[in-house]
Amino acid sequence: MQLAPLGTLLRQNIRKSVLRAFRTDPIQLEYDSKQGIPVVNYGERCGSYVGRQVNPLTVALYACRQLGLESTAGPILLPRLRQAEGSQYVERAIRWLDSSQLDCGRFSVWEYAFPWPSLNLQPPWRSALAEAFGALLLLVVGKAEEARRHLEAMLTDYRQGGVAYVGRDSLWFLEFACEQRPLVLNCMLHCLLILRECSLRLGDPALREGFELGCRTLKRDLGLFDATFYTCYDSRRNPADEKYHTLHVELLRMLIEKTGDRSFSPWLARWSQYGRTYPFLEPFIFVRHMIRSKGSPFI
């Protein structure tokens, strides 16, 4: 009976040690009453101060959750924020997204105005997750043409200003659209679910083709994220904590259920088994990663 609290305490202390080792503060969600939107206080990230910033994805996520879009796009891992609830918040979020989008010619994007030190990423930079959730939100509230422009950014290579890595018979949606292009699993899965939904709502064959190409790419590359008894957050082999491992499993389950594609099922079964031991193994996974990484920062 006493093992569960002790285990939880151990995991919490090890997570704090990992953050300290990489000179990184826990992320804090706050509310900016002047702008009427949530802001993220990143504090210090990998030894560099980032502080309080507006994240376009966070703005869109709270509105998507308010509209019940988790059943379409997957679980949204954000704490409750009382001020970011209700129809009035959705209206404020849409106004902010409308006023903040950048016209890039044949597509539009939302840009990040702060650095991301672990990747030496300087502003402005772009993210497929922001484009996906923002596009879904715009589409659901009746702004189809604006949504199309952000969906076009999702299908455009990052070297041309978009947020995807477009290769020979491959398409990866990049959480960090930059030269390092780390492949982040939850980003890819969320984006595939959203692209499928948008292609169905709009009846756009280009979106459908992008979705199908993304699925083929994911099938080929899923092994990159398997580490024998846990899953990796990204292609750099950073381990997923229990929260993100659970998210990987749920997003993959949703993709199978919505598409009927059972070729993903062996991975789902394998990763579901990992979930049984995650609460016990997670501390050791992160300690081992700290030792092996020799100070290389997490994303």
Q: Is residue 162 part of a domain?
A: yes
Pairing of strands 164-167, 170-173: antiparallel
Q: Which domain holds residue 199?
A: 3-293
Q: Give the SS3 label for residue 172.
A: strand
Q: Is residue 299 part of a domain?
A: no
- Taking only the tens place, the pLDDT of each residue in 59-118 is 999 999 999 999 999 999 999 999 898 999 999 999 999 999 999 999 999 999 999 998
pLDDT reported for residue 141:
98
Question: What pTM did the predictor assign?
Answer: 0.92
Residues 6+ apart with CB under 8 A from 11: 242, 279, 282, 283
pLDDT reported for residue 12:
62
Q: Is residue 259 part of a domain?
A: yes
CATH code assigned at 164: 1.50.10
Verify cis geometry, omega within 30 degrees of 0, for the bond prior to 38: no
In total, how many domains does the chain have?
A: 1
Q: Is residue 298 part of a domain?
A: no
pLDDT at 25 over 70: no
pLDDT reported for residue 282:
82
* Average pLDDT for 44-60: 94
In percent, how much of the chain has pLDDT > 70?
90
- Taking only the tens place, the pLDDT of each residue in 139-182 is 999 999 999 999 999 999 999 999 999 999 999 999 999 999 99
Residue that wins the pLDDT comparison between 14 and 180: 180
Q: Is residue 148 part of a domain?
A: yes
Which alpha helices (H) appear in 47-184, and where do they start and end?
56-66, 70-73, 87-100, 128-140, 144-154
Q: Write down the mean pLDDT value for the chain.
A: 91
